[in-house]
Amino acid sequence: MAQILSRRQAAETADRLHREGKSLVFANGAFDLLHAGHVRYLAAARREGDFLLVAVNSDASVRAAKGEGRPIVPESERAEIVAALRCVDAVVLFDEASPAGLIAELRPNVHAKGTDYTADSVPERDVVLRGGGRVAIVGDPKDHATTDLVARLRRG
């Protein structure tokens, strides 16, 4: 199982990978109620480089973005589930609404985003490019969404 790192440990890991000339891939999301779309996104992200670091939104940041009642699964369990995926090398939790600050700190070689974006529409694009990285759009079509799944479950 991958390690769940503190933000400081994630920065140290990124520095080590850069020194070793290895490619750091950064992916992020809430990963509330993990589904096939999440797994496909992360597996495709991993193929973009040597090391996949996944930033998982904290409970507070999910609640701010998705509203009361979310997340369904607490941050510690979401991080553990993501860390258990074979394609993931490390996980870090983040509290901000956007991963831009963490991206600026870590300077990933690749920022992997799902197919609901284009390379030009990724909100963190400028931060990635300033750090010398590139954006990769990965995964299958966005036919899966936890928000839709939760709505179906509530309808019964």
Q: Domain range spanning residue 57?
A: 3-155
Cis peptide before 71 (omega within 30 of 0): yes
Q: How far apart are CA 55 and CA 51, in angstroms?
A: 13
Q: Provide the 3-class DSSP secondary structure of residue 38.
A: helix
| pLDDT in the model for residue 156 | 76
> Does 152 have pLDDT greater than 90?
no
- Find the CATH number of the domain harbouring 96: 3.40.50.620
Question: In the beta sheet, which residues pair with residue 111?
Answer: 26, 135
| pLDDT tens figures, 43-83 | 999 999 999 999 999 999 999 999 999 999 999 999 999 99
| pLDDT tens figures, 86-145 | 999 999 999 999 999 999 999 999 999 999 999 999 999 999 999 999 999 999 887 767
Residue 18 identity (one-letter amino acid): H
Residue 11 identity (one-letter amino acid): A
Domain count, the chain: 1
pTM of the model: 0.93
| pLDDT tens figures, 1-44 | 999 999 999 999 999 999 999 999 999 999 998 999 999 999 99
